[in-house]
Amino acid sequence: MNRRKAAIAAAGTIAAGALTAGLISVPSAVAEGGSTHARAGKHSGAAEARGVRKAAARAARAGIDWKDCPADWGLKDGVECGWVTVPLDYADPDGKKIKLAVDRARSTGGKEKRQGSLVYNPGGPGGSGLRFPNRIPDKNPLWAKAATAYDFVGFDPRGVGHSAPISCADPQEWVKAPKADPVPDSEADKLAQRKLAKEYADGCKERSGDLLAQMTTPNAARDLDVIRAALGDKKLNFLGVSYGTYMGAVYAELFPGHIRRMITDSVVNPSRKKIWYDVNLDQDVAFQTRWDDWKKWVAEHDDVYGIGSTPEKVEAKWRELRATAKKNPIGGVVGPAELLGFFQSAPYYDSAWASVASVWSAYLKGDEKPLIESAAPDMSDVAGNKASENGNAVYNAVECNDAKWPRDWKTWDRDNTRLHEKYPFLTWSNAWMNYPCAVWPLKQHDALEIRAKTSHPVLMIQATRDAATPYPGGVELHKRLKGSRLITERDAGSHGITNLKNPCINKRVDAYLLEGTVGAKDVTCAPHATPEPVGSAAKATAKAKAAAVPALVP
């Protein structure tokens, strides 16, 4: 799950030595597609199953040649980097190969406490997990206990970042602003957006080569198993956030016997009826709910921000801001689309509540600079713009390839027009984000049926008011993975909650990772602390970055 610009966010093993077949668990003949349900999807063919077995065996023999990380990767001292080779197409494991970038920080508890590697995916599709190992040298207190037992391992999934990156458009052109208002005023506006989506989808095919068709969640899950083998781990320890939960769910279906520990945080609804078109429609409703929560909070702190003393007054100011930016883009570059790209970080993350409100407050008091700096693209940041476009390309490639999408415009127009009436905050922006899938130039697969009994119970964590991955997704995956446990954070809605301070959740995550315990029954936890208002835009933004949680990218 991904949006054009989630402004306040953060990304983020047994090593080396000769590895022998006796120490490595290589998928058995039935490991992939081990249940009858797995065979319902198009991704679970015998050729791919043989291919991943062969690739994992090769990776186990090769291991990972850990070295100092490149200086421009932005990683801390103590983090090591390496590469894992995987097939481009698992049906042809001896054919073309690609290399996946991986990194790790070693566990802190010594050999006697070490339990293996904890592999991480932050979401997307299109998110890089390379910053996750930074939590060990940063001495992140929430992860200190887990760090005694696990090497923290991150990776760039196929097509992402340093792992054979794909592209759909020239990055500098793609980030240019202001863009058209996503809310259409006419049929001509809709037609113009559809034309842009078609050009973008065709650009994906033209710029991404053979890899584009192989950008699927099942292939990402197969890559994950090859990484497991290269790390020398008999079974996988995995933390997936947001889209990472769907990667984990697909892994559980394809490799149910390979799970040692798996945490899914902020869960994508895995139902074949939901992936991916309906998942995005469900987001529109949930984002509106969380947007309303934030407006209420802003109103409660009107003495700090001066935006409005009631949610209705805050909404009126928002509509006024949109109208102003539509008529005359702020600073010449911030129109309604750019505003939404910045403001939607508040429904995403509690950590962004104060910073978004502070930037808005500054604007109302006559200082446009914080809003322009927060919402407008930085054309001088060539590397950042390239990463942003790459993340967006991966998002579309994976979701468009994974499942069948409606191809007729009438369906999209009907559904989004209806939703926009009650849930206007995100609906049309979300529609245009995904519309390349309606005109996708490649074959679309049937989504994989997820329904498995795993070798160790999966721990799921979900907030009831999560906007990006609505709560029913966690309930649905809980039903589909036998023996799993669900921790519910009630009356809360921040996205990616394992990295937030909530002792009710934190202690259960530690117990699961260190001891494997899931408890006798599901648990409901009280919400984490509500954010405190911060009046200064600069202070609020700095505080938000310091508290940043796993992100949806770009």
As annotated, the active-site residues are 242, 466, 495
Residues with Cβ within 8 Å of residue 103, at least 6 apart in sequence: 69, 73, 75, 79, 80, 81, 82, 130, 133, 153, 154, 155
Question: In which residue are the tokens 């202690």 written?
Answer: 507
Parallel/antiparallel/unpaired status of strands 259-267 and 452-453: unpaired
Assign residue 334 a region: left if phi > 0, alpha if psi is -120 to 50, beta otherwise?
beta
CA pair distance 362, 307, nearest whole angstrom: 10
Contact 250, 448 (CB under 8 A): yes
Residue of 411, 403, 391, 393 whose CA lies nearest to 443: 403
Identify which of 10, 12, 42 has the alpha carbon closest to the alpha carbon of residue 401: 42
Provide Rg for the chain, Cα atoms.
22
DSSP-derived secondary structure letter, 104: E
Locate the DSSP E strands across 94-213: 97-105, 116-121, 150-155
Residue 341, both tokens:
């790209």
- Distance, in Å, from the CA atom of 1 to the CA atom of 280, rounded to the nearest integer, reads 8
Query: Strand pairing of 236-242 and 523-525?
Result: unpaired
Q: Determine the distance from the C-alpha atom of residue 134 to the mean position of all C-alpha atoms in its chain, rounded to a whole number.
A: 18
CB-based burial label for 515 (10 Å; 0-12, 13-18, 19+): exposed
Pick from 218, 230, 221: nearest CA to 102 = 230
Give the span between the Cα atoms of 297 and 305, in whole angstroms.
Answer: 11
Q: Give the CA distances from residue 447 to residues 141, 213, 399, 543, in Å, rounded to whole numbers and listed in that order.
A: 38, 15, 10, 40
Question: How far is residue 481's CA from residue 302's CA, in Å, rounded to a whole number?
Answer: 45
Element containing residue 309 per DSSP (H, E): none
Phi-psi region of 498 (alpha: psi -120 to 50; beta: other; left: phi over 0): alpha
| Separation between Cα atoms, residue 220 and residue 276, nearest integer Å | 16
Q: What gap in Å lies between CA 426 and CA 468, rounded to an integer? A: 11
| Three-class SS state of 259 | strand
Residue 191 Rama label (left phi>0; alpha psi -120 to 50; beta): alpha
